[in-house]
């Protein structure tokens, strides 16, 4: 039983079967809903040791005509998350660059390097501060500014000789 009302006959006797994933009016037999999506999320392990969400993404507006599975689950939500990531990166790059007294052209170029690294998935498994600093350092080398890696490590308060930091500065 449910508190729903059939739009065909007005009956409130609705049978919701979670196993079949449908809702049927017991008065007139109309199928009111089918392919009802459960609120549970299931993760499976991939061959490379990662994890992957399995299921359908359902938009709150109901505008998704062709739901997708697996990696597609993240595609509907990923654009919003990516925009936030890029916004935070731009702010952080600008903050770091202003501490080094870099001009806006250099900061924009560093942000473009960050976007390229993000698109090529070179940011996964690395600290975002280190990636952004590496992008700034890349601009320093290509534009010939007088900044050194030591300057960036001082601002980030990390040891630039530490192996983890050195590895993050290599793409």
Tell me the pLDDT tens digit for each residue of 107-158: 999 999 999 988 888 888 888 888 999 999 999 999 999 988 888 888 888 8
| Rounded-to-10 torsion of CA 93, 95, 96, 101 | 120
**Residue 150 sits in the same domain as residue 87:** yes
Domain membership of residue 158 (yes or no) is yes
Note whether residue 25 is domain-resident.
Answer: yes
Q: Could you give the CA distance from residue 126 to residue 44 in angstroms, rounded to a whole number?
A: 23
Residue corresponding to tokens 């390229």: 116
104 CB-near residues (< 8 Å, 6+ apart) = none
Q: Which residues pair with 8 in a beta bridge?
A: none
Residue 57 in any domain: the answer is no
- How far, in Å, CA of 103 to CA of 120, rounded? 26
* Main-chain dihedrals φ then ψ at residue 44, nearest 5 degrees: -125, 155
46 lies in a domain? no
Whether pLDDT at 76 is above 70: no
Neighbours of 160 (CB within 10 A): 17
Q: Is 94 exposed, middle or buried (0-12, 13-18, 19+ CB in 10 A)?
A: middle
Residue 69: pLDDT band (50, 70, 90) is: very low
Interatomic CA distance for residues 15 and 151, integer angstroms: 67
Task: Please indicate, yes or no, whether residues 31 and 96 belong to a single structural domain of this protein.
Answer: no
| Six token digits for residue 86 | 């890029």
Total domain count, the chain: 2
Please give the residue that has the higher pLDDT: either 136 or 74. Answer: 136
pLDDT bin (cut points 50, 70, 90) of residue 64 is very low
32 belongs to a structural domain: yes
> Does some domain include residue 43?
no
Q: Is residue 47 part of a domain?
A: no
Quick one: 32 and 85 in the same domain?
no
Q: Are residues 83 and 156 in the same domain?
A: yes
Q: How many CB atoms lie within 10 A of CB 123?
A: 20
**What are 1-58's pLDDT values in tens digits?**
456 788 888 888 888 877 666 788 888 877 777 766 555 666 777 777 777 766 555 5
Q: Which helix (H) or strand (E) holds 9?
A: none
In this structure, the answer to whether residues 30 and 87 fall within a common structural domain is: no
Residues 24 and 88 reside in one and the same domain: no
* 65 assigned to some structural domain: no
Tokens for 164, please give them: 């983890």
Phi-psi region of 6 (alpha: psi -120 to 50; beta: other; left: phi over 0): beta
- Do residues 83 and 21 share a domain? no
Q: What is the CATH number of the domain that holds 113?
A: 1.10.472.10
For residue 97, the enclosing domain spans 79-168
Q: Of the given ranges (2-6, 91-95, 101-105, 167-171), which has the lowest mean pLDDT?
A: 167-171
């Amino acid at each position: 039983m449910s508190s729903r009302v059939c739009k065909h006959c007005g009956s409130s006797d609705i049978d919701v079967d979670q196993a079949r994933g449908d809702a049927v009016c017991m008065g007139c037999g109309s199928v009111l809903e089918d392919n009802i999506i459960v609120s549970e999320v299931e993760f499976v392990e991939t061959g490379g040791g990662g994890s992957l969400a399995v299921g359908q993404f359902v938009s709150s507006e109901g505008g998704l005509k062709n739901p997708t599975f697996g990696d597609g689950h993240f595609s509907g939500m990923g654009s919003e998350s990516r925009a936030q990531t890029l916004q935070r990166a731009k702010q952080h790059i600008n903050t770091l660059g202003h501490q080094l007294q870099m001009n806006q052209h250099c900061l924009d170029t560093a942000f473009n390097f960050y976007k390229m690294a993000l698109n090529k998935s070179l940011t996964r498994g690395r600290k975002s501060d280190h990636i952004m600093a590496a992008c700034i350092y890349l601009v320093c080398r290509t534009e010939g500014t007088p900044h050194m890696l030591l300057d960036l490590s001082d601002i980030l308060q990390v040891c630039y000789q530490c192996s983890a930091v050195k590895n993050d500065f290599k793409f």
